[in-house]
Amino acid sequence: MAKYIFVTGGVLSSLGKGVASASIGTLLEARRYRINMQKFDPYLNVDPGTLTPFQHGEVFVTRDGAETDLDLGHYERFTSLTLNRNSNTTSGQVYYEVIERERRGDFLGKTVQVVPHITEEIKRRFRRLARGNAEIVIAEIGGTVGDIESLPFLESIRQFRQEVGAENICCIHLTYIPYIQAAGELKSKPTQHSVERLREIGIQPDIILCRTEKPLNQDLREKISLYCNVPFQAVIEARDTDCIYEIPLTFHQEKLDQVILRKLRLRPRVSHLKEWGKLIDQLRNPEHEVEIAMVGKYVKLQDSYKSLDEALRHGGLASRTRVKLRKVDSESLRRDDELERSLAGVDGILVPGGFGTRGVEGMVAAIRYAREKRIPFFGICLGLQVAVIEFARNVCGLDRANSTEFDPQTPHPVITLMDSQRQVQAMGGTMRLGGYPCVLAAGSLSRRCYGVPRIVERHRHRYEVNPHLFGRLQEKGLQASGRSPDRKLVEIVELKDHPFFVATQFHPEFQSRLASPHPIFSAFIAAALRQRLENRPPSA
């Protein structure tokens, strides 16, 4: 039977529970345990796909095409897992399932209730993840203990512990230890209160993970151990860091993996965390730096392009380059002087995905700037679509070329709704989603980047390059370097006579990991570095 780790959060949100859970995954995989991971979100949306980036960070797309919480991105980047639609459960899904069964008559006339019906469904989902060959399942519970919404999940953990036995479960509670400047002290009281809330529900945590700005001293650790009723070794410091990938190393120093394995009565197999440590050394000691402008519409929101931020960072590893990001709100690029001011001196320009017309003209201007000034350019999803629009307008002379998403009346719809989308009415989960194969053109830059003729990448879009107009663009030099195997869809475009001009209809950032950076990101950063060294050779 698999063992279970439940990660809950207390005191306040945004403590980095997702990264903490992912780091636990890294630690256990480093000890060669087969793991699986899962996120439970207490909100009633069926998935985050219909949520605006203003309410929720990035929507992470799994290979099998589920729109999921961005924490799944951390799980994939920190481990070797490829997650799927079972890896993220929301309250919305749980209620949906139970109500559907009620309508079918499955409950034989009984009153349907949170306990036991909702909790049974949640426990079924805990167990579902252990199928296959996982030895340890890590389940993160979203929200903060004390929220009304997360109660059914916590109640399910309590019941589950009874069912499978305490030795098969490890409850880890992440809390916050504030530093009070005036007193010059770290305070444990909020943690005590939060653990009390958990105990009221019937859960005694086994490990307290303490997010803190300052090191925890012996006294404070003893106090937390005493009041929270956990062994001294189970009080683990989780200090702030500017590099999230270092967290597994600091947890290891705190012996978190040993404490977990002891609690679960598992053998402490040898840790191979050194391999991870080497990557962190490379990340920590770059030889170069490049500055990349990310010109998008949600750039002001911290988490809206999470996977992209990380993929850029990974992309610098091969060329030992630190990537500095300049986030530029595309809406601010209305005039030429603004364009010059915002983009001057950057070594590369990236236009990410997005929806709706706001800010699109600024992206057109930024892409023109990159094309004409021969600055390395990388477009992703909407970034590809706008690159096609820019090329149609400024190279092919189709002045009013546009996407029908932004101008339904355009005389030159170079981007149009996909045929498969024409009948779609419902918004949830209906885009072209998840992994699709793509065939790369011989001799193209993309083909050289990947080093293989056929790839699978993840998508999330409704619009595509209009095949009826693409011929005119091709004549002028825009190459379709990646297509769907039936050749109907253009998946990658690139320009030959440019240092680096590549745009993809898919989202390569979802497949980049610290241990295996994505080849297009690596090539983009390498091109940006060449650009920088040419323009500003290092002084002797």
Interface with ligand GLN (CB under 6 A), residue from 207, 323, 382, 389: 382
Q: Are strands 377-380 and 501-504 parallel, antiparallel or unpaired?
A: parallel
Give whichever of 9 and 65 is closer to ligand GLN, judged by the CB atom: 65
Name the segment binding ligand GLN (CB under 6 A); options: 129-137, 380-388, 433-441, 515-523. Answer: 380-388
Give whichever of 297 and 498 is closer to ligand GLN, judged by the CB atom: 297
Residue nearest ligand GLN, Cβ-based = 353
Name the segment binding ligand GLN (CB under 6 A); options: 125-133, 216-224, 341-349, 454-462. Answer: 454-462
CA–CA distance, 265 with 278 (Å, rounded to integer): 30
Exactly one of 56, 173, 498, 507 is catalytic; name it.
Answer: 507
Interface with ligand GLN (CB under 6 A), residue from 463, 501, 506, 510: 463
Residue 53 within binding range of ligand GLN, rule CB under 6 A: no
CB atoms within 10 A of CB 208: 29
Interface with ligand GLN (CB under 6 A), residue from 233, 355, 361, 439: 355
CA–CA distance, 415 with 478 (Å, rounded to integer): 14
Give whichever of 199 and 300 is closer to ligand GLN, judged by the CB atom: 300
Long-range (24+ apart) CB contacts under 8 A made by 68-71 are 68/39, 69/18, 69/39, 69/41, 69/142, 70/18, 70/303, 70/306, 70/307, 71/17, 71/18, 71/21, 71/22, 71/39, 71/140, 71/142
Measured in degrees and rounded to the nearest 5, phi and psi for residue 179 equal: -100, 120
CB atoms within 10 A of CB 384: 26
Answer whether 438's CB lies under 8 Å from 455's CB.
yes
Residue 406 within binding range of ligand GLN, rule CB under 6 A: no
Residue 493 forms beta bridges with which residues? 480, 503
Does the annotation count 491 as an active-site position?
Answer: no
**Binders of ligand GLN among 83-112, rule CB under 6 A?**
none
Nearest to 175 by CA among 209, 141, 138: 209
> 145 labelled as ligand-binding?
no
Alpha helices (H) in 202-322, listed in sequence order: 218-228, 247-253, 256-263, 274-284, 306-315
Does the annotation count 117 as an active-site position?
Answer: no
Give whichever of 18 and 383 is closer to ligand GLN, judged by the CB atom: 383
CA–CA distance, 397 with 387 (Å, rounded to integer): 14
Exactly one of 237, 252, 509, 518 is catalytic; name it.
Answer: 509
Residue 353 within binding range of ligand GLN, rule CB under 6 A: yes
Answer whether 514's CB lies under 8 Å from 77's CB.
yes
> 21 labelled as ligand-binding?
no
Does the annotation count 509 as an active-site position?
Answer: yes
Give whichever of 247 and 363 is closer to ligand GLN, judged by the CB atom: 363
Answer whether 5's CB lies under 8 Å from 138's CB.
yes
Interface with ligand GLN (CB under 6 A), residue from 381, 388, 465, 526: 381
> 383 labelled as ligand-binding?
yes
Exactly one of 381, 396, 438, 449 is catalytic; name it.
Answer: 381
Residue 155 within binding range of ligand GLN, rule CB under 6 A: no
Q: b/e string for 480-500 if b means 16 or more Cβ within 10 A?
A: bbbbeeeeebbbbbbbeebbb
Shortest Å, Cβ 334 to ligand GLN:
21
Residue 362 within binding range of ligand GLN, rule CB under 6 A: no
> 414 labelled as ligand-binding?
no
> Coil, strand or helix: which one is 495?
strand
Interface with ligand GLN (CB under 6 A), residue from 461, 498, 513, 518: 461
CA–CA distance, 523 with 323 (Å, rounded to integer): 13
Residue 213 forms beta bridges with which residues? none
Q: Please count the residues of this chain forming the interface with ligand GLN, following the rule CB under 6 A.
A: 11
Give whichever of 82 and 357 is closer to ligand GLN, judged by the CB atom: 357
Residue 405 within binding range of ligand GLN, rule CB under 6 A: yes
Tokens of 159: 């019941």
Give whichever of 42 and 354 is closer to ligand GLN, judged by the CB atom: 354
Query: Which residues carry out catalysis?
Result: 381, 507, 509
Q: Which stretches of the chain bind ligand GLN, using CB under 6 A?
A: 353-355, 381-382, 385, 405, 460-463
